[in-house]
Amino acid sequence: MSNILTCRNVTKVFGSKVAVNDVTLDIPRGKIVGLLGPNASGKSTFIKLCNDLLTPTSGEILIDGNRPGIETKKIVSYLPERNYLNDWMKVSDIIGLFRDFYSDFNEEKAYDMLKKLNINPKDKLKTMSKGTKEKVQLILVMSREAQLYMLDEPIGGVDPAARDYILDTILSNYNENATIIISTHLISDIEKILDEVVFIKEGKIVLTKTVDEIREETGKSVDSLFREVFKC
């Protein structure tokens, strides 16, 4: 089975700043991969490049053999750091939108998850707290039966209980034909659910290993190693 994501010498330059620097990466299917790095290390930029929200300055990105575009958008489910929901909509409206545009959207699953979190689908998004809106976004993204999930800081601004719920949701949605890429700087919470980690520093990949390889070789958790590698 070919890799779901292939990057060859991908570089993105903004003016004088090199945000992503010559990244070459292969990610197979059925893995949960952590893209780890401090703020402004290029993680979000890289993910945006994969989602056709930015165009690479040079290099190539292939998702399931296609360049980022309509075909890849059909199979990639992206959770951005931002809140992207239109305020005036009700939860049921945005679910309708996802159902209309994405053929792999599982509406039943979405309503199921909303129920479990006590979120009323008839509520207007603008009346919800930030945390609840983030949960709604996560539910929308995870209700798609995509081949590649890209989650940008899914547990960033959320309380510990919600973090556990999010990680649990990620695990329960896992299937061996899909890959989940999680970018975060909160490592200790998620390292156990990761297959592999990719450390990214100033736009460059500095390490690619499995979690157990790191623990075996260094006798440390990934979180500890991260603190060492990225010491200020």
Partner 1 sequence: MLAKLMKYEIKGTARIFIPLYLLLLLFALLNRIINPFSLLENSDNFNLQVLFSIISVTVYFILIIGTFVMTLIIMIQRFYKNLLGDEGYLMFTLPVKSWQHIVSKLIISMLWTILSFITAICSILILVNVDNLSEVLSLFISKFTDIFGTAGFFTLPYYALIALISNILMIYGAIALGHTFSKHKLMASFGMYCILYVIYQVVMLLFILLFGKKNITSIVTSAAPSVLQINTLILELSIPLIIILVANFILTNTILRKKLNLE
Partner 2 sequence: MPWELKSDRPIYSQLIEQIELRICSGVYPLGSKLPSVRDLAQEAAVNPNTMQRALSKLEEDGLLYSNRTSGRFVTEDVNMINQVKNKLAKEHVQIFLKKMTELGFDYEEILSIITTLAEEMKK
For partner 1, the binding residues (CB under 8 A) are: 14-15, 48, 51-55, 70-71, 73-74, 76, 78, 80, 82-86, 88, 93, 97, 100-102
Strand 196-201 versus strand 32-36 pairing type: parallel
58: partner contacted, choices partner 2, partner 1, none (Cβ within 5-8 A by kind):
none
**143 contacts 89 by C-beta, under 8 angstroms:** no
* Residues in contact with 118: Cβ distance below 8 Å, sequence separation at least 6, in sequence order: none
Cβ closest to partner 1, residue 51 vs residue 143:
51
CB closer to partner 1 out of 82 and 115: 82
Q: Which amino acid is at 41?
A: S
Q: Which of 161, 219, 228, 232 binds partner 2 (CB under 8 A)?
A: 219
Which segment (38-46, 78-86, 198-206, 207-215) binds partner 2 by CB under 8 A?
A: 207-215
Round the CA-based radius of gyration of the chain to a whole number and report it: 18
With CB under 5 to 8 Å by kind, the binding choice for 53 among partner 2, partner 1, none is partner 1
Candidate segments 24-32, 82-90, 98-106, 153-161, binder of partner 2 by CB under 8 A: 24-32
**Residue 174 in the binding site for partner 2 (CB under 8 A):** yes
Q: What angle do CA 215, 195, 58 make, to 5 degrees?
A: 110
> What is the C-alpha separation between 66 and 170, in angstroms, rounded?
25
Q: Judged by CB under 8 A, which of 5, 27, 32, 75 binds partner 2?
A: 32
H or E stretch at 48: helix 43-50
What residue spans of 56-159 are helical by DSSP H? 70-75, 91-101, 107-116, 130-142
Q: Say how far apart CA 97 and CA 167 lie, in whole Å.
A: 25
Which of 97, 215, 227, 229 binds partner 2 (CB under 8 A)? It is 215
Applying the rule CB under 8 A, the residues between 95 and 124 that interact with partner 2 are none
- Secondary structure (3-state) at 8: strand
CB of 19 to partner 1, least distance (A): 11
State which of positions 179-198 bind partner 2 (CB under 8 A): 188, 191-195
Q: Which residue, 97, 106, 136, is CA-closest to 118?
A: 136
**Which stretches of the chain bind partner 2, using CB under 8 A?**
30-32, 164, 167-168, 171-172, 174, 176, 188, 191-195, 211-212, 215-216, 219-221, 223-224
